[in-house]
A = this chain, B = another copy of it.
């Protein structure tokens, strides 16, 4: 009778929150390498190879502290098929370390095309990562394929809601006839789509991207989407601070992951790390930045309790 009943894959929210609890760390490292910013001694190889070598060192130096990594596809796609190969190698390496992987691709298209993006990232035939960021502008039928695959395969999604950049106001802050702003309407829809996907943790698999740079909007959106995990970019280099991001967490300190990319991986280029670590040891600077970030966020969360 073996094989008749396939076990349901474990709920993405439960897996993610479980790993966060285990490492007592709700932060996420963004693997967004840029060749120009790599230490000189790594620039000898061809560019995609250099990106992978850099990532490997960062992962080795941080994986015992970090539950989840976010990979920005653009920084690999920039080198075409060879860059994509570096992306694939980075993902394989993270899987060996049993880390949760979010691909930040902000993909979006009409349903039949969205299926191809699903297969590329979420299915076993593709890169088979844990979660993907998607853009909501095309509406439900463009997101349904992702959500259906995520439900079946134990994966997650993060839908852009209020993004961290200054111009996010252009459209996301527009006021609707009913008095709500566009990002609130999008948040309301995410909450609907997320309903029924909750795991034991109480959180579901349709999450939201909310900029760490907008604390007031984080507060509002937390109320609109009480069961969605928030992925917050914009901490550190973009100006978001621990006191801004605490609003994304529930009373038990759950429900959010804070991403830092440049602030971690390129910390060796800036003080206070530059003084303490030579560029040869950029990965130790990254490790220290991870420790400092955890202390900063967890410190603020504990203080709040």
Contact = CB atoms under 8 A, between A and B. Distances in A.
Interface of A: 32, 34, 72, 74-75, 77-85, 87-88, 106-111, 113-114, 116-117, 119-120, 126-127, 135-142, 160, 163-172, 174-177, 179, 182, 185-186, 189, 238
A166 B79 CA distance: 35
A186 B171 contact: yes
B84 A137 contact: no
A74 B113 contact: yes
B137 A165 contact: no
Q: Please list the 10 inter-chain residue pairs (A to B) with the smallest Cβ-Cβ separation, ordered nearest first.
A: A139-B170, A139-B167, A81-B84, A141-B167, A74-B116, A81-B85, A110-B165, A140-B167, A175-B177, A78-B116
Most buried by B among A32, A168, A169: A168
A151 B141 CA distance: 34
Contacts of A176: 174-177
A167 B164 CA distance: 26
A185 B174 contact: yes
Contacts of A32: 113
Given A110-B238, A177-B177, 9 more contacts: A72-B109, A77-B120, A81-B85, A106-B108, A135-B137, A136-B137, A137-B137, A137-B171, A174-B182
A34 B119 CA distance: 12
Contacts of A182: 171, 174, 182
How many copies the complex holds: the figure is 2
B186 A165 contact: no
Contacts of A171: 136-137, 139, 182, 185-186
21 contacts: A32-B113, A72-B109, A72-B113, A74-B107, A75-B113, A77-B117, A78-B116, A79-B120, A80-B88, A80-B126, A80-B127, A84-B84, A106-B108, A110-B238, A136-B137, A136-B171, A137-B160, A139-B169, A141-B165, A171-B186, A175-B176
